[in-house]
Structure 1
């Protein structure tokens, strides 16, 4: 009998796995040494032409994610300092530092805003320093630029800091600096951070040392950090190309991570992880359960683990990924090949309503890697076109207990286990899963599953024969070998792409134990369909 994974909890609200719902405590409308060369750090996120990719496609977020915990901009509080008098010339670096100094010395801190006659960039020759409670509000018009020479924002210890409606661009921290992380924003210990509707672009931490990085943000030992509606593009660091979060209670809602890079390679696991986002545990004294919702990881790069996302998290009772997209992330240039587009190890994982597509690694786990004995529940998810030359094209289940329900696996490739690979002591149970047109170049390997897993019923597998003409290994004992005739990955409604079942598919109405909704949030009918997509009546 497959032992059920303990119920996961998020933000003091229960995550009901059976109903595949997600709750969060905040109202949605609530307010080491070494050296990389400068050129290597700056060029790590450029395309073949040597220029930064255009990030304009990510100027807005999908309004239909409906994720809990999305933050509205915070209203001004405390003393208010305004940079500028309505002219661009008045919005100088000196005026910015003067306003920040005034708030740093004010009792209770305050709010820093701008009046610069529209869009304006302030070029910095030294970092903006924040040592008191502050709301930094760019109003959607202001860019603070480090010019590729200095860190943009540095926050002192024990500070509550909100940054919103601002662009942080061109931050740079040289190897050997006192603090080598956080070229865009450094918040090193204690206090809180809320980043709301902020763009972090082209920020680079140059050090090749272990456990440093966070090209855009370094958050260390914070009791709360919330990233809400932010865009992270073209940032890099040794580890955590976009964000490096260490011992911090982090929540991530409706963000985009595009073309960020974890740049350093070493055989130690402390380098080159998390091209977009790297997490090393929650706040140790009072940990919450990590949650990420409505977030896109597109075209990020790493050298060791987690081209898009890396998490090593032992605190709390679970981690929840909901309504997320991971596409076209890779391990390009990794000497060791790299493992996992998403690497998660530690607390049980709940992965729901999400899509992993077009990702690749050079060693193992083209899609999701579950480290050690990590338990997981995966429901209403699509894994399409992920590949690796080693084991586990879509899912490395490790040695934990993994339940996969109402999910679709198509066009994934690996030498061994193109759909799922598990360790010797692992336990995998499949219920209402479609596995179609996955493959391998190895004529002796199974086209989907290297082992026969626990059977929850309602599973469909195709094709039925290996490359050498022998019968393929059944993923479960009662699996139906039939072509489900899946349509191409597309926007079929909802916040993530899915693969539709056409009329006449032999997979229609074959599912057991129907979930209430499919991946798109569309109500399932009874009898219902296997896979992540419910065909309309």
Structure 2
């Protein structure tokens, strides 16, 4: 009887739809409150291609999926952030654009729970802090971070700051993000895993693409890190504290101003670098050479990438037996030749049409 009474009074999860005529902040907030209050569910939109202006951030406390279908933009008008995800939440933002978020030191996105960003564009958010601040579990998949700026004096992390959580980044692109201090794209003070991802044109004082400090074991695998700019560690940097490690493998680190690699780094092999600064790696397959990278472009998949050209030293650099990740950033199969390519993209890979959704940078 006690169990029956408890079950009878527990809210039931419910999906919600933002319908035509209510495709505004009030309409979305009403649906979010209902779905979140019910214990969770999926929110979709019958709005066509629409931009919804935000004037204040929204909270998520339960298992909520906000699915924009690739047609919905949330715009902060350079005055408002977007979401705070509570410790209790298991939230997913999918097929959305989050742009022009700002409010002093309030982040465009703040996560204390479990948050997944799936095919999300986070762009042109400027504030006294990172665009996304993570103190929980954050998984970033097939997403693009562009033009985000952390303007705070001593500000770390232009796109993402993994302050005291777990960060997983897969198949994503970071371009043109800026931090006033360290970590133009990503600043990590905890455990982070990056794979099949591209970093270019990011800026900071230290570690323009990736800056590691604090504690935790972090890994970068099959990344393309090129054309970033910092005073030191233009590509990647690890402060080298006793409890923080950064291991890099199967990656391209090329032409980064301020050095490709700096600080205390560990190689797991098959890294390629070019430019004035050599990386301090000597494992199997590590070495200098020209990756002959093309410009950032739409080469298939959900994000823009940089293809290695014919004759690239990245092509087939990794023996087939040493390729644990069997797809590239676009979803193309690895290996496409005698071995796998270093970097985020496998030249000549066959692409699965399921990844060709046109939702790109």
Same fold, TM-score > 0.5, yes or no: yes
Give the CA deviation at 1:383.
0.7
Give the CA deviation at 1:321.
1.6
Q: 1:448 to 1:327 in 2, by over 3 A?
A: same
Matching residue within 481, 485, 502 for 2:292: 485
Alignment check: 8 A CA contact 1:161 1:193 kept: no
Q: 1:320 to 1:501 in 2, by over 3 A?
A: same
Q: Quick one: distance in 2 between partners of 1:225 and 1:325?
A: 21
Q: Quick one: distance in 2 between partners of 1:252 and 1:406?
A: 25
After TM superposition, the structure 1 = structure 2 runs for residues 54-453 of structure 1, keeping only pairs within 5 Å, are: 137-139=17-19, 141-143=20-22, 161-162=34-35, 191-192=39-40, 194-197=42-45, 201-205=52-56, 214=57, 217-219=58-60, 222-229=61-68, 231-235=72-76, 241-247=81-87, 248-261=89-102, 263-264=103-104, 271-273=105-107, 275=108, 277-279=109-111, 281-282=112-113, 289-304=114-129, 306-307=130-131, 309-313=132-136, 318-331=137-150, 334=152, 336-337=154-155, 339-371=157-189, 374-388=190-204, 390-398=205-213, 399-423=215-239, 424-425=241-242, 426-440=244-258, 447-451=259-263, 453=265
Q: 1:133 to 1:485 in 2, by over 3 A?
A: closer
Q: Quick one: distance in 1 between partners of 2:270 and 2:333?
A: 18
Q: Quick one: distance in 1 between partners of 2:281 and 2:226?
A: 17
Q: Quick one: distance in 2 between partners of 1:474 and 1:452?
A: 11
- CA-to-partner distance for each residue in 1:11-38, whole Å, 9 max, x for gaps? xxxxxxxxxxxxxxxxxxxxxxxxxxxx
Q: Quick one: distance in 2 between partners of 1:133 and 1:522?
A: 37
Give the CA deviation at 1:153.
6.8
Secondary structure at the counterpart of residue 161 of structure 1: helix
Alignment check: 8 A CA contact 2:227 2:256 kept: yes
Q: Quick one: distance in 2 between partners of 1:234 and 1:255?
A: 11
Match of 1:507 in 2: 314
Q: 1:223 to 1:501 in 2, by over 3 A?
A: same
Q: Quick one: distance in 2 between partners of 1:523 and 1:378?
A: 18
Give the CA deviation at 1:495.
0.7
Q: TM-score, normalised by structure 1?
A: 0.55
Alignment check: 8 A CA contact 2:78 2:125 kept: no
Secondary structure at the counterpart of residue 496 of structure 1: coil
| Structure 2: gaps (5+ residues) | 1-8, 350-361
Give the CA deviation at 1:200.
5.9
Give the CA deviation at 1:190.
7.3
Give the CA deviation at 1:394.
0.4
Match of 1:47 in 2: none
Give the CA deviation at 1:278.
1.7
Q: 1:499 to 1:337 in 2, by over 3 A?
A: same
| Structure 1: gaps (5+ residues) | 1-107, 109-130, 163-186, 206-213, 265-270, 283-288, 441-446, 466-471
Alignment check: 8 A CA contact 1:418 1:449 kept: yes
Alignment check: 8 A CA contact 1:450 1:473 kept: no
Give the CA deviation at 1:408.
0.5
Give the CA deviation at 1:402.
1.2
Number of positions where the alignment pairs a residue of Structure 1 with one of Structure 2? 324
Match of 1:524 in 2: 334
Q: Higher strand share goes to which structure?
A: 2
Bigger Rg, structure 1 or 2: 1
Give the CA deviation at 1:290.
3.3
Give the CA deviation at 1:404.
1.3
Give the CA deviation at 1:134.
7.7
Q: TM-score, normalised by structure 2?
A: 0.80
Alignment check: 8 A CA contact 1:459 1:511 kept: no
Q: Quick one: distance in 1 between partners of 2:346 and 2:182?
A: 31
Secondary structure at the counterpart of residue 22 of structure 2: strand
Q: Quick one: distance in 2 between partners of 1:226 and 1:321?
A: 14
Give the CA deviation at 1:405.
1.1
Q: CA RMSD in A?
A: 3.0
